[in-house]
Amino acid sequence: MVNKCRTVGSKWVKTKVLLLNKELRKFVPETRVYSQTNLLHMLNKHKMVYIKPIHGSFGQGVIRVEKNDKYRYQAGQTAKSFGTFQGLFAALSKAKLNRSYLVQQGIHLLTHQKRIFDTRIMVQKNPHNTWEATGYIGRVAHPRKIVTNFHNSGKPLPLELLLGSYLKSQKKSDYIQSLRHLGYRIATHYQKSYPGFKEIGVDIGIDKHLKPWVLEVNTAPDPFIFNQLKNKKMFYKVLRYARANGRFLRVKRK
C-alpha cells in the first residue's frame, strides 16, 4: 500500500502501519479498538490502560483506567471509582465523547517532581531530502493530569533536565541519541507506505526500566513547542526545515 498524502489523522491506521515492522513493533504498547470486550481483556492483562479518541489531539478526551481492588478512571482532573467492571463501563460510556476510541496498554511513565513526563522527538526531511531528528523535548504533565500535552497544561522542558535523576553525563547523551535514532527509524519506516510524509513528531513514553514506548506518531507536528526552550537553537532549525517543507510560510504582501 502506497499513499501520497502528507498527513494521517487516524491513530489506529498509524499504529497498524508501525506494527508491520518487526523491529519497531517492540516499542508499541498493545493497542486495540475500544469495545467492552477489549477493555475488559486489556484491563485484566495490563491493570492500567489509556483510552483515547482515534482522531484526537492535544490530549483531549484521553482517559486513564486502572484495575486494582477497584476499578478507577481519570479524565481531566476528575477521577471516579467503581466496585464492578459493569459500573465502570456504564460510567465510561457516559463520560466518553461520541467518537471511536482506542484502548492502549498504559505505560508507567517516569516522573519529575512527582509529575509524569514523556518526550517528543521531531524528525524532518532536511534540505538534502533525507530524514533528520532535528528536535527533542520533554513534557511534564500538570500535577493532577494524566496527559503531558502543552495544550493541556503540560510544561515543555529540556529532556536533559528531566532525565537528570535517572541518567548522568555520557549515558544520558547516549540515551537521548537512541531516542532520536528511534524517531529516525520510525520516519524511514513510514516513508515506505507514505512517501509524501515530510515531518513526524513521535511521542515517546519512558517506563521505569528506561524502555521507550511509542505512544503516538503525529504527522503535522507543532514546531512551536520548541520555542518554549530557553535555548532557541533547536527551534530555529525545526522552523527553518518546516518552512522548507512548505509549512508555516509567511504570507507575502502585494
Ligand X SMILES: Nc1ncnc2c1ncn2[C@@H]1O[C@H](COP(=O)(O)OP(=O)(O)O)[C@@H](O)[C@H]1O
Q: Please report, as ranges, the residues that interact with ligand X according to CB under 6 A.
A: 29, 50, 52, 56-60, 62, 104-107, 109, 118, 147-149, 203, 205, 215-216
Helix, strand, coil distribution of the chain in percent, nearest 5: 35, 30, 40
Q: 29 is in the binding site of which of ligand X, Mg ion, none (Cβ under 5 to 8 A by kind)? A: ligand X
Nearer to ligand X, 62 or 182 (CB): 62
Least Å distance, CB 119 to ligand X, is: 9
Out of 203, 217, 237, 242, name the contact with Mg ion by CB under 5 A.
203
- The option from Mg ion, ligand X, none interacting with 221 (CB < 5 to 8 A, set by class) reads none
225-231: long-range contacts, CB 8 A cutoff, minimum separation 24: 225/120, 225/137, 225/139, 225/150, 225/156, 226/122, 226/135, 226/137, 226/156, 228/137, 228/150, 228/156, 229/137, 229/156, 229/157, 229/158, 231/158
- The residue (of 139 and 251) whose beta carbon lies closer to ligand X is 139
Q: Which of 118, 132, 199, 216 binds Mg ion (CB under 5 A)?
A: 216
- Can residue 222 be called a binding residue for Mg ion (CB under 5 A)? no
CB of 168 to Mg ion, least distance (A): 28
> What is the b/e burial string over 102-122, where b = at least 16 CB atoms within 10 angstroms of the residue's CB?
bbbbbbebbebeebbbbbbbb
Which residues bind to Mg ion, rule: CB under 5 A? 203, 216
